[in-house]
Amino acid sequence: MAFSMGGAGSMSEINVTPMIDILLVLLIIFMVIVPVTPKGLDALVPQPPKNPQQQQQPNDRTIVVQVLYRPGQAPAYKINDTDVNHSDLLPKLTEIYANRAERVMFVRGDDDVNFAYIADVIDIGKAANVDHIGLMTPKIQAGQ
């Protein structure tokens, strides 16, 4: 503490310089400790084939769930060109992914289908323990 002399009495003042030093040291420590890396979504992007002339062999391991538009009715569903009822989607997908190490599924929807039906298929895929679910867009479909 500092004292000022003079006058009728003594008056004490707080020396704030050491407090500011401590504050700056703590600020630097917290800046170093707190990670600054942003966390985003993990997305898998399909890669084009390395050899465009090479014919792509149909992969039996690829599972594509299609949501087909039917005017005035609920959409129709297919798993790799096999017709499936909506109520049978979860049991079929659970059976397919029961013994697989690679749990990847693609969802393809018609242009006129409401996205709520596609989101429902994604939820069913998550319930069937599918790790990665991709959406097939018209650009990806044209590349096949």
Q: Does the residue 56 lie in any domain?
A: no
Q: Does the residue 96 lie in any domain?
A: yes
Q: From CA 96, how far away is CA 76, in angstroms rounded?
A: 19
Judgement on whether residues 78 and 128 belong to the same structural domain of the protein: yes
Q: Does the residue 44 lie in any domain?
A: no
% of the chain surpassing 90 pLDDT: 26
Task: Supply the pTM of this predicted model.
Answer: 0.57
Judgement on whether residues 137 and 67 belong to the same structural domain of the protein: yes
Q: From CA 105, how far away is CA 27, in angstroms rounded?
A: 47
Q: From CA 129, how far away is CA 144, in angstroms rounded?
A: 27
Domain count, the chain: 2
Judgement on whether residues 76 and 114 belong to the same structural domain of the protein: yes
Confidence band of 30 (pLDDT split at 50, 70, 90): confident
Span 2-19, average pLDDT = 72
Q: Does the residue 116 lie in any domain?
A: yes
Measured in degrees and rounded to the nearest 5, phi and psi for residue 133 equal: -120, 125
% of the chain surpassing 70 pLDDT: 72
Q: Does the residue 53 lie in any domain?
A: no
Q: Does the residue 48 lie in any domain?
A: no
Judgement on whether residues 79 and 26 belong to the same structural domain of the protein: no
Judgement on whether residues 29 and 67 belong to the same structural domain of the protein: no
Q: Does the residue 57 lie in any domain?
A: no
Could you report the per-residue pLDDT of 55-72, keeping only the tens digit for each?
444 456 788 999 988 888
Could you report the per-residue pLDDT of 113-129, keeping only the tens digit for each?
888 999 999 999 999 98
Confidence band of 23 (pLDDT split at 50, 70, 90): very high
Span 129-134, average pLDDT = 89
Judgement on whether residues 70 and 110 belong to the same structural domain of the protein: yes
28 lies in which domain range? 2-33
Q: Looking at the predicted structure, is the pLDDT value of residue 12 above 50?
A: yes
Judgement on whether residues 107 and 68 belong to the same structural domain of the protein: yes
Q: In what order do the strands lie in the sheet with 82-84?
A: 82-84, 76-79, 63-68, 104-109, 132-136
Q: What is the CATH number of the domain that holds 122?
A: 3.30.420.270
Res 121: pLDDT: 92
Supply the mean pLDDT for the chain: 80
Does residue 60 or residue 95 have the better pLDDT? 95
Does residue 3 or residue 117 have the better pLDDT? 117
